[in-house]
A and B are shown apart, each in its own frame.
Chain A
Amino acid sequence: MQNRNSGFFAGKLDELVSWGRLHSLWPFPYGTACCAIEFMSTESARYDLSRLGSEFVRFTPRQADVLAVSGTITFKQAPILKRIYEQMMEPKWVISMGACACSGGFYDCYCTVPGIDRIIPVDIYIGGCPSRPEAFFDAMLDLQAKIKNQSYMEERKKKLKEQFENIKNWRKNDGQCD
C-alpha cells in the first residue's frame, strides 16, 4: 500500500474512502452484442452481482462508476463510446468484456475497432467469446483489489496542487486566463 505513510488519520481516511468506493461500484452497461446477454445473466438472480455492492445498473453515465463495455465496437460507434466515457464522473473505471471489446475478436475487417483501448483507457480485460458470468465476477473482484490500492489522499493532493498553480498563474497574469 503506497498511501499509508501519510499519517494515522489520513491513512484511515484513505482506507475508509476506498472501502466505500469498492463496495458501491455502479456499472453502466454498454452492451452491443452477445456479451451483453451474459452481463444480464450476471446481474440477474442466479449470479447476482449485487452481492459485491453493484446494486444498480445505471443507464446514465453521470451516475455510474464502472463502464462495462460488452460487445463489438464499430468505427461508427467509437465517438459515442468516447463521449459516454467522458460524461462519467471521476473516479471511473472501465471493464472490457469479451474478445470483441478487447481486441476486435474475429472481426478483423474494415468496420470494427481493434480493441477499445485505442479509444479509452481500460482497467480490466476479460477474455472469452462470450465471457461467462463467473469471469465477470472475477474481473469485479480484481477491480476491487485495484481500487483498494488507489489512494484518495494522493489524488486530492495532486488536484489541490494543480489548483494552487492555476491560481498562482492567474495572479501572475493579472487575472487573465491563458
Chain B
Amino acid sequence: MDNAIKDELAVDECWIVEREKLVEVVKSLGYDVLIDVVGVDYLGMENHKGKRFAVIYCLKNTKNMARVRIKVQVEEQEKIPTLSKIYPIANWQEREVWDQFGIVFDEHPNLKRLLNHVDFEGHPLRKDYPAKKRQWLSENDQMQDQLEKRLETLGYRVL
C-alpha cells in the first residue's frame, strides 16, 4: 500500500487515502463487497487536524473474510471520484452521502436526493444545519424517469 497511510487512531485496519488515488487503491485491493459508505462532518470537533469532511468506505473480501476501511478526507468544495463503476451499490450510497452531507461525487450517474424530499434545501446532517428547522413538502416528486429506464432495461416498451 504505497498510496495509503495507516490511521493511528483506529483499532482495526483503516487507511487514509488521497482522493485522487481512491479508485486506484480500491482496484488494487480487489475486495468484492462494498458494505457501506459513511460521511463524517468534523466541524467544531476538538483536536481535529485536517479537512472538514471525511468519507469512509467499508470493504469486505468474502474469500478470506478480511475487512478494511478506507478514509478519504475532503473539503467542502472538493469532489470525490465515484466508485459506482466498480461497485453498483455505491450509486445509492453515494447519493445518500450527498443528500445528507453535501459531499459531491464526481461523474456520478444520478446524483439526486435519496432520503430527503425534492423541495429540501441544505444538507441536514451537517453540523451547521439548524436541528429544528423543518421543511414542508406539498407535492411528491415523480420517479418516472428512473422507472422508465428500468422498464426499458427489462425489455418493456414505454409508450
Contact = CB atoms under 8 A, between A and B. Distances in A.
Interface of A: 75-76, 78-80, 108-111, 114
Nearest to A75: B137
A34 to B, nearest CB: 20
Contacts, number: 30
B134 A78 contact: no
Interface of B: 115-117, 124, 129, 131-140
Main SS class of interface, A: loop
Contact of A79 (B124, B131, B132, B140): B140
Contacts of B136: 75, 78
B124 A110 contact: yes
Contacts of B139: 79
B137 A79 contact: yes
A111 B129 CA distance: 13
12 contacts: A75-B134, A75-B135, A75-B137, A79-B137, A79-B138, A79-B139, A80-B140, A110-B129, A110-B132, A110-B133, A110-B135, A111-B124
Contacts of A75: 117, 134-137
